[in-house]
């Protein structure tokens, strides 16, 4: 069904309530301008049509209580333009739920599913969850995973809890462990501290190690040698874009299937599928409300498990 649009409202201003404090500007606008393509929202931010306290800000700006947000007139598509999630995806996400309480949901995100829409993707994980659970008025991503990365992803059900959990992450109170298959055989344990800077290459966003970049630190540990490749664990001490992939490649053991930062050959020969072999294996943190120590683990999906099995068989046989 073709999109239709409601009449464009005039410029209006919104005052940020305390329960919205800490939310990113782009995420706030996604909720306010439902039906507007994300590319359009990012454009009006870049163009300065959206302002906070009369100032231009970046889409990553975190709103504060009392901020005055200027929203320009935009065309808003009607809700029927967005089809309902398919039963297959709905069932898959129901099975992928690792943890649930009144404030928090943790899912085992499938590889290939973006966490949010944009750049040609009409709907990601968060939009799908909002469509499946319309009674949930405050679903928000706590952090992000690349589209091709599988594993643990947190979604909050309350905006105040989102702020508390993000503060905990910023203070280093959330341990995120990743499992990855890498080319070569890295040393047993190593710490990579190399600043990262966002850049572009032929219109594509990439991240590079650069002296003028932002501080970034990753801990790597060899778990298992599998012939020409290895199973490696990575722990993020900072949370930069593509950090684990760039640090691994820079240190000499790029991830299998990483077309952006790895060798052109991609995955190792004989593996069951060509995908990015990166999995957010576990989360460990103290629940900001209950004080309970949570240790959540996402199992390896079938493709990753088969690759691991193939690697073990190659050295046994």
> What are the residue numbers of the active site?
146
Half-sphere exposure of 293 (CA within 13 A, CB side): 1
Per the CB < 8 A criterion, the answer to whether 183 and 227 are in contact is no
Q: What is the DSSP string of 191-221?
A: EEE--EEEEEETTEEEEEE-TTSB--EEEEE
From the number of C-beta atoms within 10 Å of its C-beta (0-12, 13-18, 19+), residue 104 rates as buried
Q: Give the Cα-Cα-Cα angle 140, 141, 145 (nearest 5 degrees).
A: 165
- Long-range CB pairs of 303-307 (<8 Å, 24+ gap) are 303/111, 303/272, 303/273, 303/275, 304/150, 304/179, 304/181, 304/277, 304/279, 306/271, 306/272, 306/273, 307/181, 307/256, 307/267, 307/271, 307/272, 307/273, 307/277
- Return the closest-CA partner of residue 154 out of 117, 98, 105: 105
């Amino acid at each position: 069904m073709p999109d239709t649009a409601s009449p464009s409202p005039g410029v209006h201003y919104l005052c940020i309530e305390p329960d919205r404090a800490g939310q990113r500007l782009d995420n706030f606008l996604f909720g306010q301008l439902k039906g507007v393509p994300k590319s359009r929202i990012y454009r009006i931010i870049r163009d300065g049509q959206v302002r906070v306290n009369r100032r231009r800000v970046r889409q990553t700006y975190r709103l504060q209580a009392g901020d005055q947000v200027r929203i320009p007139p935009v065309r808003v598509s009607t809700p029927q333009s967005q089809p309902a999630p398919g039963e297959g995806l709905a069932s898959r996400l129901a099975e992928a739920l690792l943890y649930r309480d009144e404030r928090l949901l943790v899912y085992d995100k499938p590889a290939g599913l973006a966490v949010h829409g944009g750049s040609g993707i009409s709907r990601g994980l968060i939009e799908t969850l909002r469509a499946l659970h319309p009674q949930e008025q405050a679903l928000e991503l706590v952090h992000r995973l690349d589209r091709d990365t599988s594993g643990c992803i947190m979604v909050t059900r309350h905006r105040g809890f989102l702020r508390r959990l993000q503060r905990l992450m910023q203070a280093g109170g959330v341990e995120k462990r990743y499992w990855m298959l890498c080319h070569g055989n890295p040393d047993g344990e190593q710490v990579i501290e190399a600043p990262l800077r966002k850049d572009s290459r032929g219109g594509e966003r990439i991240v590079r190690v650069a002296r003028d970049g932002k501080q970034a630190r990753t801990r790597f540990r060899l778990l298992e040698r599998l012939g020409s490749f290895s199973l490696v664990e990575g722990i993020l001490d900072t949370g930069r874009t593509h950090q684990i992939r760039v640090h691994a490649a820079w240190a000499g053991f790029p991830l299998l299937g990483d077309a952006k930062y790895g060798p052109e050959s991609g995955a190792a020969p004989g593996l069951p599928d060509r995908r990015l072999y990166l999995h957010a294996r576990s989360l460990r943190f103290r629940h900001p409300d209950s004080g309970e120590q949570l240790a959540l683990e996402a199992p390896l999906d079938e493709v990753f498990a088969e690759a691991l099995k193939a690697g073990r068989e190659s050295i046994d046989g």
